[in-house]
Amino acid sequence: MIIMLLTVGIFFGGVFGWKAWMANQSGLMMRSMARPPITVSAIIATVETWSPVINSVGTLRASKGVDITAREAGMLTALQFSSGMQVAAGDVLAHQYVDDERAQLAALEADVRLAELNLKRSEDLLNKSLNSQFEYDTRKTDRDRAVAQARNVRLAIEKKTIRAPFAGRLGIRQVDLGEYVEPGDMLVRLEALDQILIDFPVPQQSIGQVRVGQPLVIRVDAYPGKEFSGKVTAISPQVRAQTRDVRLEGRIDNQAEALLPGMFAEVATHLPVQQQVVTLPQAAITFSPYGDSVFIIHEAVDENG
């Protein structure tokens, strides 16, 4: 029994001793091997001119926009436009019923002709001293009144011809042919889209750096990665008490009509101050709660070769 226990002890002691020796040899081998070099990517930092910007958000609006409405009550007898159509300034968009006014105008034009004849007769008689100045003045007043009444009816007829006040693109038609409209009823929306405006705020502490004419860039979600350039066109003379900011207006060329009124946009206003700065990629900067840092490589010779 004792011999068997001794044999087992010797066996396990040899096994554990072998493993300890192998572990020791492996450690010696690892310590004797040189560490592999660490791969480091490096760039040459350069000095560039940098223009600071003020970032904000704003809403787009058309440079000119108006609701086309009826100026007089009446039935629409002709619609000469369609939804989304491009129109020029002065283009006729609609006509209203004017037959009654035309009949009235014909009667008033006849009164004008008669008043002209009576005035001419009165003038001839006055020149021959066969008429009084009072009679002549009365005939002249009758003529002027008839002319004014005819002019008023012509204006009423003209008001029932609805025209585009400026060039632009029409929205969705709001009325149908034959519909009776009252003064102020909307027919269609008209927007001038060749130039688009943006209203946006800047903090009051930055207003001293902003000037009319400074460049700006906007971005909208509809065109990811695309920028639209413009410039500052107006600065509000008042700081808003609720938000302590100042409203700015910018103008962007929009000949392609890619930008639409009502869009939400990010705005970057470039300030005139230019600084010489060292530029680095973000991956080269180590960020920490105690401050950001950058590793600088110096040429040197390793003492170990």
Domain ranges of the chain: 1-33, 53-63+191-284, 66-181
CATH of 53-63+191-284, one of 3.90.650.10, 3.30.1360.200, 2.40.30.170, 2.40.30.10: 2.40.30.170
In the block, which residue shows the tokens 């009164």? Answer: 111
Angle at which helices 99-127 and 133-159 cross, to 10°: 160
Instruction: Evaluate whether 200 touches 247 at the Cβ level (below 8 Å).
Output: yes
From first to last of its 305 residues, what are the pLDDT tens digits of the chain? Answer: 666 655 656 655 665 666 666 766 666 665 655 566 666 677 777 777 777 788 999 999 999 999 999 999 999 999 999 999 999 999 999 999 999 999 998 999 898 998 889 888 888 877 877 778 888 888 889 889 999 999 999 999 999 999 999 999 999 999 999 999 999 999 999 999 999 999 999 999 888 888 899 999 999 999 999 999 999 999 999 998 888 999 999 999 999 999 999 999 999 998 776 667 777 777 777 777 777 787 787 776 666 65
Task: For residue 65, give the amino acid letter.
Answer: G
Per-residue pLDDT, 133:
83
- How far from 23 is each of 15, 16, 26, CA to CA, in Å? 12, 11, 5
Cα separation, 55 vs 266, in Å, equals 7
In the block, which residue shows the tokens 């044999």? Answer: 7
Instruction: Evaluate whether 200 touches 61 at the Cβ level (below 8 Å).
Output: no
Per-residue pLDDT, 94:
96
Structure tokens at 247: 């409203």
Q: What is the pTM of this model?
A: 0.66
